Structures are given as C-alpha cells and as structure tokens.
Amino acid sequence: MLQYGRFEAVHKSQLEALGLPAHLWQVLYKKLSSDTFDIGDYVAFGERDNSESSSVAEGLTEHSLCLNVDQLEAGGNVFLVDHAWTTSIDQIIENLDRVPGLLERMEKLTGTYYSLAGSTEMVSAGSLDSEIEANVSTVASMAGVSEERARDLLVSVNGCLIDAIMAAEDEGKEATPGQNTLQEQIIQQLGGSEALGGGKSLQWRTRRYDCTQYALDGGDQPDAIEVSVPLGPGSSARDVKCTFGPKHLTVSVRGSCVVDGGLPGEVRVDDCTWAVEDGMLTITLVKRVADTWSELILGEKHVNPFELRKHLTRVSGELWRFFQGYDCM
C-alpha cells in the first residue's frame, strides 16, 4: 500500500471530485489499507413496503439505510462499499445488448429508455449543459485530462460520460481490428446488403433478436432467413422450446415467450432447424417461395443499430455514474 503522502498525491483529484472533506482523507486511507468495511456497525439495510407507492418502478424493491447507532454526524466518517460485480465498459455494453432482460431492468433502474420511434429521448440545451458540467470532474479524474479538455470531450459526444472517457483514452490510438469489425457490421446492418430482393434490407434487428436473409444456393432471391436470439451465459438446448408452423413461429426460453407470431410467408417446416451454441439460439427458416421479407414476425418493431448502440452507451454511462470507482458515504 502507498504511504499516505503518495496516496494523497495520486488520488487528490479523485477525492476532490467525490466531494470528500479533506479531514476524512486519512480516515479513508487507513480503511483502504486495512480493508475495513465497517458500515454495518453503523447502519442496516431495510426494505420498504412500496405496494401503494407510485414512485418505484414495477418489479423493483425500494430500500433505505437505517441507523444502528444513536447518532451519526454529517461529515464525521467515511465508509467503503465493496463491489459485488466488477466489469469493463465494453463488457457492460455487451451484456446489456446480449443478456436477456438485463437492458429492460437497467432502463427501469436508471430511468433511461429507448424509443422505437426514434432515439433515446433528447434533453434540452439547458439540461445538457448541466449534465456536461456535472461530469467534467469525473472525466478529468478518470481519464487523466484537464477539466478544460474533459469539457471539450463531453461537448463533442453530446454529454455522454462513457463516450467522453473512451474518447480521451483513445486519443492518438489507431482503431483496433475489433472496433473496425464492429463498425463494418453496423454499416452492413444499416443497408450495406441491398443487392437482393429489390433494394429491401437483408438484415435487421429488434430488441429480442437479429435477422439475416440469404440465398441457400446463391440465387437472386433469398430463400432462407437466420434468426439469432441471445440466451445468456450457461444456456443450453434444454432451456429452449421452438415450434415451427407453415406461417407461424413460437419460441420460448425457460418458459418465457420470446417469439410468437405470424410469418409474412410460408416456410418448409421439415427443413427448418434450430441450435444453441455459446449462449446463442440460431434458428434457420427455409421459405417455400424465395422472396425478400421486410420482417420476421408480422408487426414487429425494428431498431436502428447506431441508435441502439448510443442508447446502450447512455445506459452504461448512467450505471457507471453510480458504480464507478469506490463509493464514499
């Protein structure tokens, strides 16, 4: 462990950004040095009855911290909160995109929602300016840049905390092969494959699955469609029930319905297949008549990959705001 003088020199900007009073810095240092997690000696975590409350999102439980001692002076102590889950920004975004139900739960937690009619709800100029100023110190401390540079980065990415940190870290670096591949995939999904089917898109996304149409024998019209449904880690074929009908598809995972609706055309039921590998369910439908479908299930809602990626980044930014670093109370 660093000596206190070195600890203060290294972490001063973070401590100031957290708003921790200077007289508690040595207290924090001692607790970090000895892994002292003593908040349980002072408070208890209590659950509230929110059955009649309209302020708590459905499915969430409201909790509060209750004192275990007679008195706890404001600014009189600092406590460490141990992490139950540690991850990276990229992992957060990937998990939000691929773990079933996680994005919906985190949207409720952060109050950040994606509109199928457009992108994430826009904020007013005034609230955006306030959000940028609130994040300047965090970006400066996390990315090791000046507050002026942090503010410029936040302005350039429309106030997104995660994008600003990643932009600061990526300055002067060339894009990695993985980043290039992701960009190419998104561009392709947005209309890079329009040669078949009279200009209709051969790929699209919904909130629950991805679709790709293709020609089995290299013909001019796509006669098959591949559906990719993320199941999450640890999933197997035992968790899936898939039922094919001539013009209907039903998919359930662990008893929960994922897909259930009519198809825009007939399929050859005996030629349709499904398989599970590495947490992904892959369904292959073979059309009775080669044609380009504009949707898999009649009436389904598509999402724009670019806008969805921005939304995932914004949700992860809200989560990062709550969970980054260590928390001081």
**How far, in whole angstroms, is CA 4 from its chain's centroid?**
37
Angstrom distance (rounded) from CA 237 to CA 210: 19
Where does residue 111 rank: exposed (0-12), middle (13-18), buried (19+ CB within 10 A)?
exposed
Tell me the sheet residues that pair with 162: none
pLDDT tens for each residue of the chain, 329 residues long: 578 888 888 888 888 888 899 999 999 999 888 878 787 788 775 655 555 555 544 444 455 667 777 777 888 889 887 655 556 777 888 888 888 888 888 888 777 887 755 433 434 445 557 767 877 877 787 777 888 888 888 888 777 766 777 777 776 455 455 444 444 444 444 444 444 444 456 889 998 899 999 998 877 889 999 999 998 777 899 999 999 999 999 999 888 888 999 999 999 999 999 999 988 999 999 999 999 999 999 999 888 877 888 888 888 877 776 555 434 44
**What letter represents residue 32's amino acid?**
L
pTM of the model: 0.53
32: which residues sit within 8 A by CB, 6+ positions away?
Answer: 1, 80, 326
**What letter represents residue 255's amino acid?**
G
